[in-house]
Chains A and B, each alone.
Chain A
Amino acid sequence: MSDATTGSVTPATSGLLLVLAHPALERSRANRALAKAAKSVSGVTFKDLYESYPDFVVDIETEQAALVAHDVVALQFPLFWYSTPSLLKEWLDIVWLHGFAYGEDGEALKGKKLFVACTTGGSAKAYHAHGYNRFSLDEFLRPLEQTAHLCGMEWETPFVVHGASVKDDAALKSEAERYKARIASLLPARAEA
């Protein structure tokens, strides 16, 4: 019997919820390296969406409980068509509901931090007004930023790895270390709170 909840970890009572969305993680060296580094930080709860919900039928109750139980929500994903992979969008659509995440009675996420870690195929230069993609990555991430705002969450400066697929092992290793440090830096703030 396959189990729909495979890949999700029992929610901790506090800490950082790392939500990874990559439909072909087996081919992504960068995202694997980043996830591995982040998972090694204590206080991080790891959730692999494409592993948990291969049929895209996200379990609302489980996901909402996990969100409530953490102080930091981290979204890690490769940029697909200037946006998130479809399952991450589905997860937002179906879990971050009116009355839960936003709206008059929606205060479940209020005060929490939203942190985005994003990888791109193109170089940093491409994400520029005069570049190939005509807009900066910050601009592409505006919908998420506004989502955080609407939900009363603190928007953290995103962590970005450009040109992820062409980086060599050494470069990836240093990015992973940088990511690990960033994740860890998000946690103590919570400990003080």
Chain B
Amino acid sequence: MENFLTQTLVYLGAAVVSVPIAKRLGLGSVLGYLIAGVVIGPYALSLIGAQADVMKFAEFGVVILLFLIGLEVRPSMLWDMRKAIFGFGGTQVVCTSLAIAGASMLLGLPWQTALAVGMVLAMSSTAIVLQTLDEKGLRQGPVGRAAFGILLLQDLAVIPMFALLPLLATVAPQTHGDAGGHGGASLVAHLPVWAQGLSVFAAVAAVVGGGRYLVRPVFRFIAKARLREIFTASALLIVVAVASLMQIVGLSPALGAFLAGVVLAESEFRRELETDIEPFRGLLLGLFFITVGAGVDLPLVARQPLLLGGLVLGLMALKFLVLYGLALLFGAPKRGALAVATALAQGGEFAFVLLSFTVGAGVIGAPLAALLTAAVAVSMALTPVAMILYERVAALMDAAIPDVVPDTGDFDESEPDIIIAGFGRFGQITGRLLSSNGFKSTVLDSDIEQIELLRRFGRRVHYGDATRLDLLRQAGADRARMLIVALDDREKTVELVETARKAFPNLVILARAWDRRHAYDLLANGADAVERETFESALALGATALQKLGFRAHRAHRAAAYFRRHDRRMFEELRPMWGQEEAYILASRDAAQTMDRLLDADLHRMRPGDAGGAWDTASLDEELRERAQQEGAD
């Protein structure tokens, strides 16, 4: 127990110290974890003992990652991506395997070993790639999709590799029972081939069928019990159960988890599962990266620095070239191909698994396996560095194209009236309205895909995190009249408003607010005006609903307009209380109370008759009727 606590202390301590520092230095969190691992590893400070247990635990992080990815993937989307997955992905695995095998043979390995090395090293690291792309904001969009397709196919390819690798044995296998490492922990290995196949089929069927017909009623039952921790526990249970099942039948646990995720992607519990599992993903992946860092055999590196360095560089260069060539062949633009090739040019976590398997199966000797393990670990550690290099090169490429404004270069020929931070679905509309009315705007956005697209249309857009004061200043914030904040991130929006208010007191700041509470926060932090992003569209939908319920169009429009005015008055009335004595009422856990209050006020103020029924007053009808009777009587 004491040992466990000490270990936890070391891991958490290392992560807490190194990751924020790495982030601050612009290295990204993955590199932070890896460095933490190297530092506390057995070959440096040696603060952790045998880390095999931790390693297994950490690999579970990859399983969870795949589960979460699966949740995001609808089967129709997989079908749309079939070209990326099977075309690009399959070709990549085959070509990379052969290229590395060829290079290994040139270095004097027998062909069987060379081929095994090729297959092992053809894998890239799902965890590192996806995490790195996430941090760069490249996950969505063509680069992210291509990378994801390849990674998915690689995970699939592990299965036939387990079958193929033993055939390449050149020496008698070591103890057979040990043969598996992770993949070989299969309980069905001793069964005849047809039974193995059947059990694989049964396991997949169990995951799909269970996900469709069993999990949802169970979740509904648990959800009714309103025990959050039990819901989290059952979410974890699913992942662990699926992973174990896959291991039993000899499939990749990560792939099983992915499958389970896809099955549950359409379920109503998807969001809940995501939010519950997400924290585990981050922590366990962090742990995984630490163990990779700790696994870098420093003495080995010290003994053969040149050999190892050569191996790492050779590996990355080969993978990069193959990927780059293939990406171009599959029609990617140069920048995109460069990004994909750089991101995927490392060895993957499956290499560790496959290497121990091949050693057991007598395909690769233990010394070579140790060397390759170190090479893969170092290549993983170098990936975030390579991505930083890529960004530099990409910036240079942009600078080389004359009519494209450099990302961080000077903005000075532009004297913008307006700076728009964030040019997504909200910022675009505002921006288009303003520019079509003759205002010059400078756009800051951190979505490189979006920027590439806009630049093709000749728009002035700049890559960058708008919360950076220096970038704002470069974009002309001290000369511009207005800043429009339309970032997708709630906290960042507040942060940017606050920063800009302090630095540029004369700037008019308008911000897109998430909801009422966010709007109050933004106003409190110096925004001159805010617009709740969903307010107008929700109102429009409400008006449409009234029409569909039988209101005439003009009456529905007026009802919505009255509601808008009423709501804005309520907004202003409640505003002084925000953050003061009644803050608790508005705070999230008492949102229901606020809602009651608002609904009550609506009911009182918005009663029928007030809302636009001005012309058809009943009193006029009555008076006219009375007059008619009198006239008739006269």
Residues of chain A with a CB closer than 8 A to B562's CB: 57
Residues of chain B with a CB closer than 8 A to A2's CB: 529, 568
Q: Are A98 and B617 in contact (CB under 8 A)?
A: yes
Q: Are B619 and A98 in contact (CB under 8 A)?
A: yes
Q: How far, in Å, is A62 (CB) from chain B's closest CB?
A: 10
Q: How far, in Å, is B24 (CB) from chain A's closest CB?
A: 36
Q: Are A99 and B615 in contact (CB under 8 A)?
A: no
Q: Are B614 and A93 in contact (CB under 8 A)?
A: yes
Give the complex CA separation of A60 and B564 in angstroms. Answer: 15
Given contacts A1-B529, A1-B531, A93-B614, contact A99 B568 (CB under 8 A): no
Residues of chain A with a CB closer than 8 A to B614's CB: 60, 93-95, 97
- Which of B571, B572, B617, B623 is the one whose CB lies under 8 Å from A104? B623
Q: Verify if A26 is at the interface (C-beta below 8 Å from B).
A: no
Give the complex CA separation of A176 and B531 in angstroms. Answer: 40
Given contacts A1-B568, A3-B568, A57-B561, contact A94 B615 (CB under 8 A): yes
Given contacts A97-B617, A103-B619, contact A1 B565 (CB under 8 A): no
Give the complex CA separation of A55 and B554 in angstroms. Answer: 12
Residues of chain B with a CB closer than 8 A to A55's CB: 561
Give the complex CA separation of A4 and B571 in angstroms. Answer: 13
Q: Are B558 and A57 in contact (CB under 8 A)?
A: yes
Give the complex CA separation of A108 and B501 in angstroms. Answer: 48
Residues of chain A with a CB closer than 8 A to B619's CB: 98-99, 103, 105
Contact indicator per residue, chain A 57-70, by CB within 8 Å of chain B (1) or not (0) = 10110000000000
Q: How far, in Å, is B614 (CB) from chain A's closest CB?
A: 4
Among residues of B, the one whose C-beta sits closest to the C-beta of A103 is B623
Residues of chain A with a CB closer than 8 A to B612's CB: 57
Q: Are B623 and A1 in contact (CB under 8 A)?
A: no
Residues of chain B with a CB closer than 8 A to A1's CB: 519, 529-531, 568, 571-572
- Which of A4, A57, A59, A99 is the one whose CB lies under 8 Å from B617? A99
Residues of chain A with a CB closer than 8 A to B529's CB: 1-2
Give the complex CA separation of A46 and B612 in angstroms. Answer: 25
Give the complex CA separation of A57 and B561 in angstroms. Answer: 7
Residues of chain B with a CB closer than 8 A to A60's CB: 614
Residues of chain A with a CB closer than 8 A to B564's CB: 4
Contact indicator per residue, chain B 106-150, by CB within 8 Å of chain A (1) or not (0) = 000000000000000000000000000000000000000000000
Q: Verify if B620 is at the interface (C-beta below 8 Å from A).
A: yes
Residue among B519, B558, B617, B619 facing the most chain A CB atoms (10 A cut-off): B619
Q: Are A4 and B565 in contact (CB under 8 A)?
A: yes
Q: Are B571 and A99 in contact (CB under 8 A)?
A: no
Give the complex CA separation of A94 and B620 in angstroms. Answer: 13
Q: How far, in Å, is B411 (CB) from chain A's closest CB?
A: 30
- Which of B531, B568, B572, B623 is the one whose CB lies under 8 Å from A98? B623
Residues of chain A with a CB closer than 8 A to B571's CB: 1
Q: How far, in Å, is A179 (CB) from chain B's closest CB?
A: 32
Q: Are A103 and B620 in contact (CB under 8 A)?
A: yes
Q: How far, in Å, is B118 (CB) from chain A's closest CB?
A: 62
Residues of chain A with a CB closer than 8 A to B568's CB: 1-4
Contact indicator per residue, chain A 70-113, by CB within 8 Å of chain B (1) or not (0) = 00000000000000000000000111011100011100000000
Among residues of B, the one whose C-beta sits closest to the C-beta of A104 is B623
Among residues of A, the one whose C-beta sits closest to the C-beta of B610 is A60
Contact indicator per residue, chain A 1-40, by CB within 8 Å of chain B (1) or not (0) = 1111000000000000000000000000000000000000
Q: How far, in Å, is B606 (CB) from chain A's closest CB?
A: 13
Residues of chain B with a CB closer than 8 A to A57's CB: 558, 561-562, 565, 612
- List A residues 116-161 near B (Cβ within 8 Å): none
Contact indicator per residue, chain B 525-542, by CB within 8 Å of chain A (1) or not (0) = 000011100000000000
Give the complex CA separation of A93 and B617 in angstroms. Answer: 12
Among residues of A, the one whose C-beta sits closest to the C-beta of B575 is A1
Residues of chain B with a CB closer than 8 A to A93's CB: 614-615
Give the complex CA separation of A97 and B612 in angstroms. Answer: 12
Residue among A1, A99, A103, A104 facing the most chain B CB atoms (10 A cut-off): A1
Give the complex CA separation of A4 and B623 in angstroms. Answer: 34
Give the complex CA separation of A60 and B566 in angstroms. Answer: 13
Give the complex CA separation of A156 and B614 in angstroms. Answer: 28
- List B residues 545-572 near A (Cβ within 8 Å): 558, 561-562, 564-565, 568, 571-572
Give the complex CA separation of A3 and B528 in angstroms. Answer: 12
Give the complex CA separation of A98 and B617 in angstroms. Answer: 7
Residue among B568, B572, B614, B615 facing the most chain A CB atoms (10 A cut-off): B614
Give the complex CA separation of A3 and B564 in angstroms. Answer: 10
Give the complex CA separation of A23 and B615 in angstroms. Answer: 23
Among residues of A, the one whose C-beta sits closest to the C-beta of B620 is A98
Residues of chain A with a CB closer than 8 A to B623's CB: 98, 103-104
Give the complex CA separation of A105 and B620 in angstroms. Answer: 10
Q: How far, in Å, is A189 (CB) from chain B's closest CB?
A: 32
Residues of chain A with a CB closer than 8 A to B531's CB: 1
Among residues of A, the one whose C-beta sits closest to the C-beta of B529 is A1
Give the complex CA separation of A51 and B167 in angstroms. Answer: 82
Q: How far, in Å, is B545 (CB) from chain A's closest CB?
A: 19
Give the complex CA separation of A93 and B577 in angstroms. Answer: 38
Give the complex CA separation of A93 and B572 in angstroms. Answer: 29
Give the complex CA separation of A94 and B623 in angstroms. Answer: 18
Q: Are B565 and A59 in contact (CB under 8 A)?
A: yes
Q: Are A99 and B620 in contact (CB under 8 A)?
A: yes
Residues of A that sit less than 8 Å from B by CB: 1-4, 55, 57, 59-60, 93-95, 97-99, 103-105
Q: List 22 A-B contacts (CB under 8 A).
A: A1-B519, A1-B530, A1-B531, A1-B571, A2-B568, A4-B565, A57-B562, A57-B565, A59-B565, A60-B614, A93-B614, A93-B615, A94-B615, A97-B614, A97-B617, A98-B617, A98-B619, A98-B620, A99-B617, A99-B619, A103-B619, A105-B619
4 closest residue pairs by CB, A with B: A98-B620, A57-B561, A94-B614, A99-B619
Known: A93-B615, A94-B614. 16 other contacts (CB 8 A): A1-B519, A1-B531, A1-B568, A1-B572, A2-B568, A3-B568, A4-B564, A4-B568, A93-B614, A94-B615, A95-B614, A97-B617, A98-B620, A103-B619, A103-B620, A105-B619
